[in-house]
Amino acid sequence: MLTLEKFEEASEVVKRVTQETKLVYSKYFSDQTGNRIYLKPENMQITGAYKIRGAYYSISVLPEEDQKKGLITASAGNHAQGVAYAAKELGVKAVVVMPVTTPLMKVNRTKSYGAEVILHGEVYDEACEYAYQLAEEKGYTFIHPFDDLAVATGQGTIAMEIVKELPLVDYILVPVGGGGLATGVSTLAKMLNPNIKVIGVEPAGANCLQASLEAGEVVTLPDINTIADGTAVKRPGEKIFPYLQKNLDGIITIQDDELIVAFLDMVENHKMIVENSGLLTVAALKHMNAKNKKIVAILSGGNMDVITMSSVVQFGLIQRDRIFTVSVLLPDTPGELVRVSTVVAKLQGNVIKLDHNQFVSTNRSKAVELKITMETFGTEHKNQIVQALEENGFKPRVIRTSL
> Would you please indicate which residues are annotated as catalytic (active-site) residues?
51, 300
Please spell the DSSP secondary structure of 71-126, one letter per residue.
Answer: EEEE-SSHHHHHHHHHHHHHT--EEEEE-TTS-HHHHHHHHHTT-EEEE--SSHHH
Q: Report the Cα–Cα distance between both ends of the chain, in Å, rounded.
A: 53
Amino acid letter at 375?
A: E
Distance of CA 297 to the CA centre of its chain: 12
Q: Is 335 exposed, middle or buried (0-12, 13-18, 19+ CB in 10 A)?
A: exposed
- Dihedral of CA 381/386/387/388: which sign? positive
Asked whether the beta carbons of 185 and 11 are under 8 A apart, the reply is no
Please spell the DSSP secondary structure of 281-326, one letter per residue.
Answer: HHHHGGG---SS-EEEEEE-B----HHHHHHHHHHHHHHTTSEEEE
Strands 323-330 and 397-399: antiparallel
Give, for 375, the enclosing helix (H) or strand (E): strand 368-375
DSSP state of 140: P
CA distance 119 to 115: 13
Reference 131, options 90, 154, 99, 103; nearest CA is 99
CA distance 101 to 245: 31
Give, for 254, the enclosing helix (H) or strand (E): strand 250-254
CA distance 346 to 388: 10
- How many Cα neighbours within 13 Å face the side chain of 193? 16
CA distance 326 to 385: 10
**Other beta carbons less than 10 A from residue 5's beta carbon:** 8
